[in-house]
Structure 1
Amino acid sequence: MNAPATDRVLKGLALRLFAILCLATMSALVKLVEARGAALPETMFFRQLCALPLVLGWLALGQGVGAVRTQRIGAHLLRTGVGLLGMVATFGALILLPLAEATTLSFTVPIFATILGALVLKEPTGWPRWTAVLVGFGGVLIVAQPGSGHFPLVGALVGLTSAFLIAVISILLRQIGRTESAGTTVFWFSLLSLPPLGIVYLFFAQPHDSLTWTILVAIGLIGGTGQLALTGALRYAPVSAAVPMDYSSLLWATLYGWLFFGVWPTSYTWIGAPIIIGSGLTIAWREHRRQRLASRSAASVTQRAEL
């Protein structure tokens, strides 16, 4: 019984690593296409437009297209609104900052998720997790070096705003996920985001050369593939095992930053990134431990009731 279980976890981790590669590649393409003259609304529109067929195909091969039916359209509208704001901030940070620095700031999502979980969901948060939060923000200060002038302050604020909004989205997804499948949620986000993005796109649409058009389409296809791979990974591997794979994105961001833009991370980034990553891993481990204790407690209550 152990071998099949181990194989499933390894499959989940491989999918997660593949998803992170896709999303890191998409991030590099976002920065590259902006350098070639594409406006942010154009990039966002093609990101969602080209991903939608992938989502529909994935649903058709799995749950069936009927899985898109929902009774919670209001929740999906809220998730779409916050998701679009998060996409603006995420793509904005990629444009304003070097890839490695933008990626490093994205690692603060668990920190913001911990704060929001404690304040909004009233989740129990002990001193070890609060310590990890403070240490993580210390890592952010090392990377950003506020006041030194080496790091664009606006870019840092946009990057942290992106991480905060992604943490908000994670809480919304946790609530939506009680009744909706991941595929249903991805579909409605893709579909509902297209009308507002399409309207804005009309004001920014412009001619491009064939390579730029190819990159715009690739952003949607690669980003959509990565999003589906993230969802698929959690079918096989628990969150506590899958999340550490996300930090491999810094390796890809460093490689793409050097390959496409000739930029290497600063020494402050190399010092601060491990601190932020360590903070995130500590938070993930504490969350995993809390869930295991809750599961054991629930099982104990069930056994007593049966007796």
Structure 2
Amino acid sequence: MNDRIPLAIATRLGSAFFFATMNAVIKLAQAHGASLGEILFYRQFVAALLVGAVVASGPGAGSLKTAKFPAHILRAVVGLFAMACTFTGVMALPLAEATTLGFTMPIFATILGALILREPTGVHRWGAVLIGFVGVLIVAQPGGGHFPLWGALAGLGGALLTASVSILLRQISRTEATLTTVFWFSTLSLLPLGIAYAFVAQAHPAITWLLMIGVGALGGVGQLAMTSALRFGPVSVVVPMDYSSLLWATVYGWAIFAVLPEASTWLGAPVIVVSGLYIVWRERVRRRIETQQAIPQGVG
């Protein structure tokens, strides 16, 4: 398994790159006249085609059978709202700030895990949660006016809903393969998105269509790379790689949109990142202790 750790890290770094690039393309599509509803539809439509192709060339349609269809519907509903909030934040905020607020997902996951799953959460992780929210206040600066507060709230809402999805996935993944879960999310979300798209669809120049298709392709590849990384290495190793997306967001913001992060972001982002990394590390420590306690005395 250790031989696959470098592959796990490389794959997760790749997923961070694809998602950061997708966010930049979202803003470009917006600048060329695409609406949120159109971008969301093509994000899922193209991703569904990619996942379907992977299923057809690999495990086959039989792998898509599920005994938890209601759970997949709930995951699709929550996931859609999470994506809508996240994309709204990306469209409203500079890339670096939108990316930084997305890093609060582990913070919300800790809170939801304690409240919903009754996971033991000690003073260390609660302290990390508080420190993380201090970082959020530094970045968002409520009342500061350096970017729209509603955009920041949308980004935080996306992180909260994404954390909710992670809670749902912990339940679904006990019996469902990752590829099966990704497929049902992509396909089930097409029905409501298709209805919404019928009301917001409009004519565009070729470049806008290409950008919207690019959002779907980058998101689909990023999703597959992200989930594949978890097959090659443990969560505690691969998840910290997600923070590399801030580097790409900063580069894209400067090179494409001529925008650099605010001074408050340079101060707050490390606080949020350290908080998230500490939460991941404490989770690893907790699981190791639980594993040791589960081993009968005298064994090993």
Q: TM-score, normalised by structure 1?
A: 0.95
Sort the Cα spacing of 1:31 and 1:301 in 2 relative to 1 into closer, same or farther, 3 A. Answer: farther
From 50, 53, 56, the counterpart of 1:60: 56
1:231 is aligned to 2:227: yes
Q: Partners in 2 of 1:245 and 1:61 — Cα distance? A: 29
- Spell out structure 1 runs of 4+ moving beyond 6 A: none
**Percent identity among equivalent residues?**
57
Identify the residue that residue 186 of structure 1 maps to in structure 2: 182
Q: Partners in 2 of 1:264 and 1:246 — Cα distance? A: 20
1:255 is aligned to 2:251: yes
1:145–1:151 Cα contact (<8 Å) kept: no
Q: Partners in 1 of 2:101 and 2:90 — Cα distance? A: 11
Give the Å deviation of 1:59: 2.1
From 22, 26, 38, the counterpart of 1:26: 22
User: Could you say what secondary structure the match of 2:295 adopts?
Assistant: helix
Counterpart residue identity of residue 113, structure 1: A
Give the Å deviation of 1:60: 3.0
Give the Å deviation of 1:255: 0.7
User: Could you say what secondary structure the match of 1:265 adopts?
Assistant: coil
Give the Å deviation of 1:97: 0.4
Identify the residue that residue 86 of structure 1 maps to in structure 2: 82
* Residue deviations 1:264-290 (CA, integer Å, cap 9, x gap): 001110010000000000000000111
From 29, 35, 39, the counterpart of 2:31: 35
Identify the residue that residue 216 of structure 1 maps to in structure 2: 212
Q: Partners in 2 of 1:244 and 1:179 — Cα distance? A: 26
- Structure 2 stretches of 5 or more lacking a match? none
1:101–1:269 Cα contact (<8 Å) kept: yes
Q: How many residues end up aligned between the 2 structures?
A: 300
Counterpart residue identity of residue 196, structure 1: P
* Residue deviations 1:134-173 (CA, integer Å, cap 9, x gap): 0000001111111222231111111110110000000001
Aligned pairs for 1:188-207 within 5 A:
188-207=184-203
User: Could you say what secondary structure the match of 2:2 adopts?
Assistant: helix
Counterpart residue identity of residue 55, structure 1: V
Identify the residue that residue 115 of structure 1 maps to in structure 2: 111
Q: Partners in 2 of 1:156 and 1:54 — Cα distance? A: 31
* Residue deviations 1:22-42 (CA, integer Å, cap 9, x gap): 011111111110111101110
User: Could you say what secondary structure the match of 1:148 adopts?
Assistant: coil
Sort the Cα spacing of 1:302 and 1:20 in 2 relative to 1 into closer, same or farther, 3 A. Answer: farther
1:51–1:221 Cα contact (<8 Å) kept: yes
Q: Partners in 1 of 2:57 and 2:50 — Cα distance? A: 11
Identify the residue that residue 65 of structure 2 maps to in structure 1: 69
User: Could you say what secondary structure the match of 1:44 adopts?
Assistant: helix
- Structure 1 stretches of 5 or more lacking a match? none
Identify the residue that residue 153 of structure 2 maps to in structure 1: 157
Q: Over aligned residues, Cα RMSD in angstroms?
A: 1.3
Counterpart residue identity of residue 219, structure 1: V
1:294 is aligned to 2:294: no
